[in-house]
Amino acid sequence: MISNLSITVTKLILPALLFGYAAVANVDVSETVARAFAKVPETVSGIMHGGFTQDIETMYRGELPHRQIAVELIGAARYVMLGEGRNGVVVGADGWLFSIEEFRGLDKPEMGMATSIEQISAIAETLRSHGAHLIIVPLPAKNDIYRDKADEPRFAEASEARYEAFIAALAAAGIDYADTRAALLAAKKTGPVFLRTDTHWTPLGAKTVAFEAARQTGKLQTLVALDDEKPDVVDGDLVKFVTSGSLAKLVGLGPETVIPQKPQRASEDVVGDLFGNEAQFPVALVGTSYSATEAWSFANYLEAALGKNILNVAEVGRGPVFPMRKFLEGETFRDASPAMVIWEFPVRYLTDPDLWSGGK
């Protein structure tokens, strides 16, 4: 176990190396260095929590030549020596990375709950008035499913409590949902259901949730086979908060490979009967990058599980609310006239104070 003194010394060595680099590079950063050291925490505790190192990093990003290389080097060194990344990531065990968003609202499982249930209920009523049935598919936090890889068990417990509070609130409001957490916990015994260095799930995680949602709605169709597509190499979206480039691979944070899948569209009568030749889509999928990114195959798995064409209107980088509002306000909803709308909804967004205020 590394002692607190050793960690403190290391946290001071890292910026010292940067200052040495500045001297070798013949860069005058004396005024900037003075400002940085003026912010040195008065207690060892302040240094331990990384604030000083973050201030130094901000300084060298703007002042030093070859600063991108410097950023990558110091990030890799901090990860190897301290097991830390920059703001935006929480480093777990065995090279597992977690989004900082999953660590909001500790001890507040009800945070954002009342507003979310009120808004979701209104959307469910809007869909109902147009003949569409809403089903929420809540996604548990990665730090909940892989709490054995996450630091600080209390955060995983908070994520679990938030998930349970969410489905309980949905039930109380009369909103249909698919409980996916137990299925993911069971599936992870057979293979990874989340990527190690990425926010998102693996195709196995997506398949597990799709088939569980279909089973719980009583619409599970088991006659559609799946074909593997070309393997896809994924550079984890959380790696950028540690380092980048070739250094990521050197410190054990290199790309991961997934194999997307799609339902067979062969000419067999049974498959043709299942999917039909309808111009309209009986099911619409709304959600985040968990649904929008083709590498995870979530929409494909839903098609296979339900035996129906899926209209996928999920979007990358916009959260769960924006795509739903856009869908309801646009012509796509009126033209498609889906009988069922599946709304994939990661529970970590419940603690986002801007979730329902627009923007995302």
Residue 62 has a pLDDT of 53
Query: Does residue 170 fall inside a structural domain?
Result: yes
Residue 263 has a pLDDT of 92
Shared domain for 69 and 198, answered yes or no, is no
Of 84, 119, 135, the one marking the end of a domain is 84
Decide if 107 is catalytic.
no
Domain that holds residue 63: 4-84
Which residue stretches of the chain have pLDDT < 50? 1-2, 5-10, 12, 19, 22-30, 32-34, 36-37, 40-52, 267-273, 277-279
Decide if 246 is catalytic.
no
Identified catalytic residue from 116, 144, 159, 198 = 198
In the chain, % of residues over pLDDT 90: 61
Identified catalytic residue from 99, 159, 289, 297 = 289
Shared domain for 230 and 129, answered yes or no, is yes
Query: Does residue 274 fall inside a structural domain?
Result: yes
Identified catalytic residue from 116, 144, 200, 352 = 200
Residue 29 has a pLDDT of 44
Shared domain for 191 and 224, answered yes or no, is yes
Q: How many domains does the chain have?
A: 2
Structure pTM?
Answer: 0.81
Residue 97 has a pLDDT of 97
Residue 279 has a pLDDT of 45
Containing 275, the helix (H) or strand (E) segment is helix 269-275
Shared domain for 188 and 323, answered yes or no, is yes
Shared domain for 142 and 17, answered yes or no, is no
Q: What is the DSSP string of 150-216?
A: SS-HHHHHHHHHHHHHHHHHHHHTT--B---HHHHHHHTTTS-SB-SSSSSBPHHHHHHHHHHHHHH
Residues 6+ apart with CB under 8 A from 198: 97, 234, 236, 237, 238, 256
Decide if 289 is catalytic.
yes
